[in-house]
């Protein structure tokens, strides 16, 4: 025998509110995950340099060996390379 006294009854309005809430929560979690992974990949692909001439901090992609400062145009020189020469 089934006991209908313990069954949970949802009205159509409550079911709709529950459905919309769950859908929005799933979309919010997916969006936050996407933002986190995108930001991490952008940070991984860039290196931060500090210009020795004007002390400007700027970010460049990793493949560039000697990037130019966007403010003064000076070439970035790595201190290890400078000391070994």
What are the domain boundaries of the chain? 14-44, 47-85
Distance (Å, rounded) from C-alpha 46 to C-alpha 40? 10
What pTM did the predictor assign?
Answer: 0.41
pLDDT at residue 83 in the model:
34
Distance (Å, rounded) from C-alpha 69 to C-alpha 53? 9
What parts of the chain have a pLDDT lower than 50? Answer: 1, 80-85
In the chain the beta strands, taken as DSSP E runs, fall at: 46-50, 57-61
pLDDT at residue 30 in the model:
96
Contact, 56 vs 72, CB < 8 A?
yes
């Amino acid at each position: 025998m089934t006991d209908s006294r313990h069954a949970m009854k949802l009205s159509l309005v409550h079911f709709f509110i529950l459905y919309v809430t769950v859908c929005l929560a799933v979309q919010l979690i997916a969006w936050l995950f996407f933002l986190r992974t995108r930001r991490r990949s952008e940070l991984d692909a860039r290196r931060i340099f500090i210009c020795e001439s004007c002390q400007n901090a700027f970010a460049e992609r990793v493949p560039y060996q000697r990037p130019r400062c966007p403010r003064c145009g000076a070439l970035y020189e790595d201190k290890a390379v400078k000391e070994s020469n």
